[in-house]
């Protein structure tokens, strides 16, 4: 794979930053010596340097100045603190900058980084095992080449698609929060197995594999979930009995409303004070 950049800066290299860093290095999308990562603490920087072979520092200004592409893997409040600095604005002037901060809009980012081509990204935690989902939205001055570059970055940790920014709150509710909702369902199904006599460890393992297998059936066959459900649901069988129990509990509306509520809250996550 061709290198994504001559020099990449990952600002705030925490859990998500390390997931992306690991994906990039495993895919050989960029060499370790071309990457600079930053953290708030020197001992963490030393650990990242030793583990990944990258340059690691606590100096975000210097990292941005040396880079030709920056990835801000920070929480919204931290993005405000970093990006509102005049030195950062100057260091990133004209350079493509990607933010993964939930709820932080392109307009807000442009207020801090007015001359940087900006991309907003919403990845989720399965990126840690390279089974993630990331949705990108581009700013008005972002070229197809830049969005293709951003896509290549996140494809190293899973699926990556582009949507207009107006969809990003819904994406945060479905993609960002979605794994937690799936974990609740998975745990509940395992509980059902335990209630019927299965050992807890086995019930969890089977339930997790059921979720993984069912999801891959949707992705690999291209069939609608309803069609796949009907393949399992025989007349007067145990599956239809279970499905009717789910319907009695209004499972569809509860899950849909769950995503709706998460999306509503996501819309307020970017309400940060620029002076913080």
Domain boundaries, the chain: 8-166, 178-266
pLDDT value at residue 267: 87
> Residue 260 pairs with which residues in a beta bridge?
none
Average pLDDT of the residues in 60-74: 96
Average pLDDT of the residues in 120-143: 96
Asked if pLDDT for residue 275 goes beyond 50, the answer is no
Asked if pLDDT for residue 42 goes beyond 70, the answer is yes
Q: How many residues does the chain have?
A: 276
Give the least confident one: 27-31, 57-61, 187-191. 27-31
Average pLDDT of the residues in 169-173: 95
pLDDT value at residue 77: 87
The CA distance from 163 to 183, in Å, is 26
Asked if pLDDT for residue 2 goes beyond 80, the answer is no
> Residue 226 pairs with which residues in a beta bridge?
none
pLDDT value at residue 206: 98
Asked if pLDDT for residue 273 goes beyond 60, the answer is no
Asked if pLDDT for residue 41 goes beyond 90, the answer is yes
Enter the pTM of the model: 0.90
> Tokens 């990845």 appear where?
123
Average pLDDT of the residues in 118-130: 96
Query: pLDDT for 177-211, tens place per residue?
Result: 999 999 999 999 999 999 999 999 999 999 999 99
Helices 178-195 and 251-266: crossing angle in degrees, nearest 10, is 150
Strand 97-99 to 69-72 pairing: parallel
The mean of the pLDDT values for the chain is 94
Q: Band the pLDDT of 1: cuts 50, 70, 90.
A: very low
Q: Which residues contact 274 (CB under 8 A, 6 or more apart)?
A: 80, 84, 111, 112
DSSP string, the chain: ---S-SSEEEES-SHHHHHHHHHHHHTTSS-GGGEEEE-SSHHHHHHHHHHH--EEES-HHHHHHH-SEEEE---HHHHHHHHTSHHHHHHTTTS-EEE--TT--HHHHHHH-TTS-EEEEE--GGGGGT-EEEEEEE-TT--HHHHHHHHHHHHTTEEEEE--GGGHHHHIIIIISHHHHHHHHHHHHHHHHHHTT--HHHHHHHHHHHHHHHHHHHHHH---HHHHHHHH--TTSHHHHHHHHHHHTTHHHHHHHHHHHHHHHHTTTT---TT-
- Looking at the chain, the whole-number percentage of residues with pLDDT higher than 90 is 92
* Nearest partner of 103 among 131, 78, 129, judged by Cα: 78
CATH fold, domain 178-266, is ProC C-terminal domain-like fold (1.10.3730)
Average pLDDT of the residues in 228-232: 96
Domain 8-166: give its CATH code: 3.40.50.720
Average pLDDT of the residues in 227-252: 96
Phi, psi (degrees; rounded to nearest 5) at 209: -70, -35
Asked if pLDDT for residue 3 goes beyond 50, the answer is yes
Half-sphere exposure of 186 (CA within 13 A, CB side): 20
Q: Band the pLDDT of 4: cuts 50, 70, 90.
A: confident
């Amino acid at each position: 794979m061709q290198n994504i950049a001559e020099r990449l800066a990952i600002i705030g290299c925490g859990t998500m930053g390390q997931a992306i860093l690991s994906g990039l290095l495993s895919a050989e999308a960029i060499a370790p010596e071309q990457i600079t990562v930053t953290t708030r603490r020197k001992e963490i920087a030393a650990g990242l340097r030793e583990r990944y072979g990258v340059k690691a520092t606590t100096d975000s200004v210097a990292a941005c100045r040396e880079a030709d592409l920056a990835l801000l893997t920070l929480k919204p409040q931290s993005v405000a603190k970093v990006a509102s600095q005049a030195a950062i604005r100057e260091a990133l002037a004209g350079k493509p900058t990607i933010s993964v901060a939930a709820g932080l809009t392109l307009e807000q980012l442009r207020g801090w980084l007015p001359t940087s081509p900006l991309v907003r990204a919403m990845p989720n935690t399965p990126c840690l095992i390279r089974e993630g989902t990331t949705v990108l939205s581009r700013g008005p001055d972002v070229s197809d080449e830049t969005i293709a570059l951003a896509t290549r970055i996140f494809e190293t940790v899973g699926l990556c698609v582009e949507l207009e920014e107006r969809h990003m709150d819904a994406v945060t509710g479905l993609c960002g929060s979605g794994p937690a909702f799936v974990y609740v369902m998975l745990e509940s199904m395992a509980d059902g197995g335990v209630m019927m006599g299965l050992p807890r460890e086995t019930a969890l393992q089977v339930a997790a594999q059921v979720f993984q297998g069912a999801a891959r059936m949707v992705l690999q066959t291209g069939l609608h979930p309803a069609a796949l459900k009907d393949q399992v649901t025989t007349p007067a069988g145990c599956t239809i009995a279970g499905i009717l129990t789910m319907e009695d509990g209004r499972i569809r509306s509860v899950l849909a409303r769950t995503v709706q509520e998460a999306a509503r809250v996501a819309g307020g996550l970017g309400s940060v004070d620029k002076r913080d």
